[in-house]
């Protein structure tokens, strides 16, 4: 399994990140354990979760697996804080109170005394940025968090956060988690991509398979799959551009003896500055298919076909 540094750190993470938003929602403890076992057996070590996934269920399932398998030191665990966990005013956002309470709850559920990568799930412009960054920096100083990162930040806010951390000598955001795939390219590539490359910020992409659109299970004029994401996929991807990109993905996959999902992920893996795409699986068989994307080397012709079909400028 290809390993890469996370941002400018020396933390080595696998070039495929296992997403766990399905844990507790689509897979129970036993089924989730099987997926995690297959991931580690395939050489993976990077696992992404969040406190809000299943209102803690995902972290709890992952924590049970880490303890039962004795895998805490071998795994790189990334989790998030910031989205609403309750109805109260202090149950959301990135205030110091929310960050401090959130990390303690995540540590309990994960059954560990440290988190490798603690991420701001979404920018909170109602809280002073300095307060958020001080909170994260304190957690690094206390040893409860090794590195901090962010998700869903626009370029100017990420640049401001990096500048403040540098100016004040605080822990900085070492990675960004943006929505990025063959369909949604412009919102990342326009400004965030050059910023991340210039400042050596790692990039961990979510929605890498477009909610399953690039797995090939969606077809124009056919009934939607019975999955929780189907209606959102239909809304976002069922259009001329979406079908054109999917056709190119399937053409490249057929010519190279790969699956559409492997091609869509391999395209992200081979983009400059990408640390790892995040994708989730509900079975060991599906997980092994996705891991094949790391070993799939798309040649110049394949990349050109995909880039042309998905071009945004």
Instruction: Return the active site residues.
Output: 53
Tokens 């507790």 correspond to 24
The pair phi, psi for residue 269, each rounded to 5°, is: -55, -35
Spatial distance between the Cα atoms of 127 and 144, rounded to a whole number of angstroms: 22
Please give the Cα distance from 177 to 209 (Å, whole number): 14
Pair 233, 210: CB distance under 8 Å? yes
227 Cβ contact list (under 8 Å, min separation 6): 212
Q: What's the start-to-end Cα distance of the chain, in Å?
A: 33
Task: Give the span between the Cα atoms of 78 and 17, in whole angstroms.
Answer: 10
Encoded tokens for 37 = 């076992």
List Cα–Cα distances, 237 to 39, 112, 213, 276, in angstroms. Answer: 29, 39, 7, 23
What lies within 8 Å, CB to CB, of 34 at 6+ separation is: 283, 284
C-alpha distances in Å from residue 254, one per residue of 60, 121, 135, 240, 257:
39, 37, 49, 21, 5
**Residue length of the chain:** 313
Contact 294, 15 (CB under 8 A): yes
Q: In the numeric block, which tokens belong to residue 2?
A: 């290809």
């Amino acid at each position: 399994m290809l390993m890469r540094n996370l941002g400018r750190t020396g933390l080595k993470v696998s070039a495929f990140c296992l997403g766990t938003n399905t844990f507790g929602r689509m897979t129970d403890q036993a089924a989730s354990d099987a997926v995690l076992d297959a991931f580690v057996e395939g050489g993976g070590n990077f696992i992404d979760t969040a406190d809000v996934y299943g209102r803690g269920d995902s972290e709890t399932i992952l924590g049970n697996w880490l303890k039962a398998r004795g895998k805490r030191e071998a795994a790189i665990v990334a989790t998030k804080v910031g989205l609403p966990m309750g109805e109260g005013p202090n149950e959301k956002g990135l205030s110091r109170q929310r960050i401090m309470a959130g990390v303690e709850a995540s540590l309990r559920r994960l059954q560990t005394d440290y988190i490798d990568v603690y991420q701001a799930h979404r920018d909170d412009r109602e809280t002073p940025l300095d307060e958020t960054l001080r909170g994260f920096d304190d957690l690094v100083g206390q040893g409860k968090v090794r590195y901090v990162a962010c998700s869903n930040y626009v370029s100017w806010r990420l640049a401001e956060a990096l500048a403040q951390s540098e100016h004040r000598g605080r822990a900085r955001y070492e990675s960004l988690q943006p929505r990025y795939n063959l369909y949604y390219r412009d919102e990342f590539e326009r400004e965030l991509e050059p910023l991340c490359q210039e400042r050596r910020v790692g990039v961990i992409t979510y929605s890498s398979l477009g909610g399953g659109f690039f797995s090939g299970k969606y077809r124009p004029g056919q009934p939607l799959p019975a999955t929780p994401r189907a209606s959102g996929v239909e809304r976002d991807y069922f259009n001329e551009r979406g079908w054109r990109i999917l056709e190119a993905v399937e053409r490249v996959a057929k010519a190279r003896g790969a699956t559409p999902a492997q091609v869509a992920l391999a395209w992200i893996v081979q983009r400059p500055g990408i640390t790892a795409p995040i994708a989730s699986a509900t079975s060991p068989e599906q997980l092994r298919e996705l891991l094949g994307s790391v070993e799939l080397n798309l040649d110049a012709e394949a990349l050109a076909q995909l880039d042309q079909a998905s071009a945004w400028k």
